[in-house]
């Protein structure tokens, strides 16, 4: 009886410790962006190191899927610990409405959120530069 009472808490503690430890770094990542205006130079950079105006390192354009939808897939096996998404939202002189840009970054298979950026600009507004950094080692469940 005493052995059972000791075994159950130890087993539960061991189960909790092993199930909470996830290392998703290196797994495939999906980036999805939705906007109600076209975004110029919508790029994913493989670093967060500052450069002259944009981060240093290789960059890849987010695929324009039409109707304000953009996407990109980061293949599994990457070794970078920080990425940057940039883009230029053109000035809008309309006197009503909002410019909306929603960026969602998540692990493709697991669905865990790596990061998100929601931007709302009241019109009229000048040109706006998107500069969003995310780290794959940080995620929300």
The span from the CA of 28 to the CA of 73, in Å, is 7
pLDDT digits (tens, 9 = 90+) for 38-87: 999 999 999 999 988 889 999 999 999 999 999 999 999 998 999 999 99
pLDDT tens digit sequence for 28-38: 999 999 999 99
CB-based contacts of 65, cutoff 8 Å, min separation 6: 71
Characterize 10-29 residue by residue with b for buried, 16 or more Cβ atoms within 10 angstroms of its Cβ, and e for exposed.
eeeeeeeeeeeeeeebebeb
- Whether the predicted pLDDT of 21 surpasses 80: no
């Amino acid at each position: 009886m005493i052995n059972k009472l000791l075994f159950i808490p130890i087993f539960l503690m061991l189960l909790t410790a092993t199930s909470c430890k996830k290392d998703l770094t290196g797994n495939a990542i999906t980036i999805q962006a939705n906007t109600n205006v076209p975004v110029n130079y919508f790029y994913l950079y493989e670093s967060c190191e500052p450069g002259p105006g944009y981060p240093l390192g290789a960059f890849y354009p987010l695929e324009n899927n039409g109707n304000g939808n953009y996407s990109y897939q980061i293949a599994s096996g990457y070794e970078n610990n920080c990425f940057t998404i940039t883009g230029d939202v053109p000035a809008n002189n309309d006197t009503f409405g909002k410019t909306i840009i929603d960026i969602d970054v998540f692990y493709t298979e697991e669905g865990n959120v790596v990061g998100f950026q929601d931007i709302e600009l009241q019109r009229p507004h000048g040109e706006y530069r998107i500069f969003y950094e995310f780290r794959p080692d940080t995620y929300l469940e």
